[in-house]
Amino acid sequence: MKSKQEKTIKRFCLEQADFYPCLDDNTPNTDFDRHYTYHPAWAARIIKQLRPKKHIDISSTLYFCSMLSAFVPVEFYDYRPANLILNNLKSGSADLTRLPFIDNSIESISCMHTIEHIGLGRYGDPIDYDGDLKAIAELKRVVTPGGSLLFVVPLGAKSVICFNAHRIYDKAQILSIFSDMELVEFALIPENEEDGGLVIDPSDALLTKQFYGCGCFWFRKKREINQ
């Protein structure tokens, strides 16, 4: 047992100027952003399965590329480059509507919770109603035949623009845009936690309940017919 003298040893400076009251954290559960917690976890599990020699990420959450680089060499690109300094991670600048890669050159690429912003001017990019379609065309262009694209967007029962924050897509719209690619896996992060965490192949009934759910699509580029 500590002596009375040991218990009163001052280890920290306590001054009123340093007070930082946190009065709202005494909650029964830990709250978290469902979209940004589940979708990187979904993608990381697929990357583990694919085991690529290198993974390219375009403008997804920095937590994803930072942690993934502990296991796989990662190149991260953003319209507003991030000054990330970690071994196994390269960080640079790129415009999603004009990616600096040659055709059919990337075996593993992700673009998650990003496309919905392209062309809305939120991040200093030019206003372009079809900016998202131009960016998607670039992603499809650079993926090698047989390569994988991990694609995540807000998903709801109907497509909406919440200007200038983001777009919300519906499943049929995404599948139509990517009709030239193979859908390997589709998962939904429902808005409400009582509907599940990461739901693989969600029912139409669950999809119709969503206004701002999160759709996770694993696409594979089809190989050339003559291959």
Cis before 164? omega within 30? yes
What is the structure's pLDDT at 10? 86
Query: DSSP per residue over the chain, as a string?
Result: ---HHHHT---S---GGG-----S---SS----HHHHHHHHHHHHHHHHH--S-EEEES--HHHHHHHTTTS-EEEEESS-----BTTEEEEE-BTTB-SS-TT-EEEEEEES-GGGTTSSTTSPPP-TTHHHHHHHHHHHHEEEEEEEEEEEEE-SS-EEETTTEEEB-HHHHHHHTTTEEEEEEEEE-SSGGG-SSEES--HHHHTT-SSEEEEEEEEEPPPTT-
Q: Does domain 33-221 sit in CATH 3.40.50.300?
A: no
What is the structure's pLDDT at 227? 47
pLDDT 10s digit of each residue in the chain, 227 long?
556 556 678 899 999 999 999 999 999 999 999 999 999 999 999 999 999 999 999 999 999 999 999 999 999 999 999 999 999 999 999 999 999 999 999 999 999 999 999 999 999 999 999 999 999 999 999 999 999 999 999 999 999 999 999 999 999 999 999 999 999 999 999 999 999 999 999 999 999 999 999 999 999 999 875 54
Spell out the domain ranges in the chain: 33-221
What is the structure's pLDDT at 224? 75
Name the pTM for this structure.
0.92
